[in-house]
Amino acid sequence: MKAVLLDSASLGEGIDFSPLKRHVDTLILHDQTSPADCASRVSEADILLTNKVVINAEVMNAAPNLRHICVLATGTNNIDLEAAEERHVSVSNVENYGTASVAQHTLMMILALATRLPLNQHSVSAGDWQQSPFFCLLDHSALQLAGRHLVIVGEGTLGRRVAEMARAFDMTVTFTARPGSDNDSRPALHDVLPDADIVSLHCPLTEATRHLIDTEALSLMQPHALLVNCARGGIIDEVAALDALRHGRIGGLAVDVLPVEPPRDGHPLIDATSEALNLIVTPHSAWTTLEARQRIIELTSNTLAQRQQG
């Protein structure tokens, strides 16, 4: 049984791939694979492992022995699932590997926005504290989290973990109804936005959630409200959210994701990080603790073991 991992470098340094080797005869690791190199690299593979390399019908046709594709991520949008089904190629992915890591990152963003960390850092760099008539700088009053209302979109494992951590700060938590659902007893997002102090997104990007936070939704939010997106780029209308932040219609914005990644052509939010705004942009790094990245390999190894037993 020959397995080929097409983009091992996408998991970063320090990863132990030995758990995978226990369940295959041969494991070939490629740091990166371009579309032009896919056909030659998969030609003898029984199992393909990929994080973000696209596996389409053409790639599958180049691998006549292919029986299984392991996606080293939660989403399977880089796999042509219809082509896989036609060729009787099974597809697996990994879930809940980064719950602790992403929840930690989410709370970091909430805490940083609530304490106005980006604004305070900008003021210190600009010399404002040095010129203050008092011992402290009172330009950017912090938002105390105790007693505040956190609205979470997405009551999965991650959303529940964020809620658990928020309650430790004495926050009140409300989960909203699933976007697009007609029979969900939970409150609709637009109904709770006017009362939200913080909104945190932990839902997949679908047609129902694309631009879920748009100009209309932003208009319902309180001027001090904080918006955090550690889910997928495009769930918020980033340009509209930036405009709302600049004009004081929301109090803070933090994103770990953008619609196109990496953003080789730039993005307005990246450009705005040099401004005096309560804004945080991180490079899709919420999942990147070593523990979370290694967990991907462990879960994939478990999948291969189950295939052997089956």
Per-residue pLDDT at 29 exceeds 70: yes
What the block records as the tokens of 33 is 């694979």
Residue 310 has pLDDT above 70, yes or no: no
pLDDT tens-digit series, residues 232-251? 999 999 999 999 999 999 99
Q: What is the mean pLDDT of the chain?
A: 96
Annotated catalytic residue 216: no
pLDDT of 307 > 90? The answer is no
Do residues 111 and 259 both lie within one domain?
A: yes
pLDDT at 218: 98
Say whether both 186 and 219 belong to one domain. yes
Same domain, 105 and 252: yes
For the segment 280-306, the average pLDDT, to the nearest whole number, is 96
Q: How far is CA 272 from the centre of its chain?
A: 21
| Whether 118 and 168 share a structural domain | yes
87 and 224 housed in the same domain: no
Q: Which of 68, 148, 232, 293 is catalytic?
A: 232
Expressed as residue numbers, the domain containing 57 is 2-95+290-309
* CATH number of the domain residue 198 falls in: 3.40.50.720
151 with 85, same domain? no
From 164, 261, 291, 298, active-site residue: 261
Question: Of 140, 210, 284, 307, which is the active-site residue?
Answer: 284
Is 284 among the catalytic positions?
yes
Are 14 and 155 contained in the same domain?
no
294: helix, strand or coil:
helix
Same domain, 200 and 114: yes
- My answer on whether 107 and 236 are in the same domain is yes
Distances (CA, A) of 68 to 71, 89, 95: 10, 5, 17
Spatial contact of 279 and 118, defined as CB atoms under 8 Å apart: yes
Residue-level pLDDT at 262: 94
Q: Is the pLDDT of residue 186 over 70?
A: yes
| Co-location of 17 and 151 in the same domain | no
Q: Quick one: 16 and 84 in the same domain?
A: yes
For residues 152 and 198, the answer to whether their CB atoms sit within 8 Å is no
Query: What is the number of residues in the chain?
Result: 310
Distance CA 250, CA 220 (A): 10
Average pLDDT of span 63-76: 94
Residues 27 and 114 grouped into a single domain? no
Q: How many domains does the chain have?
A: 2
pTM of the model: 0.92
Q: In this prediction, what percent of the chain has a pLDDT beyond 90? A: 95
Summarize pLDDT for 97-140 with one digit per residue, the tens: 999 999 999 999 999 999 999 999 999 999 999 999 999 999 99
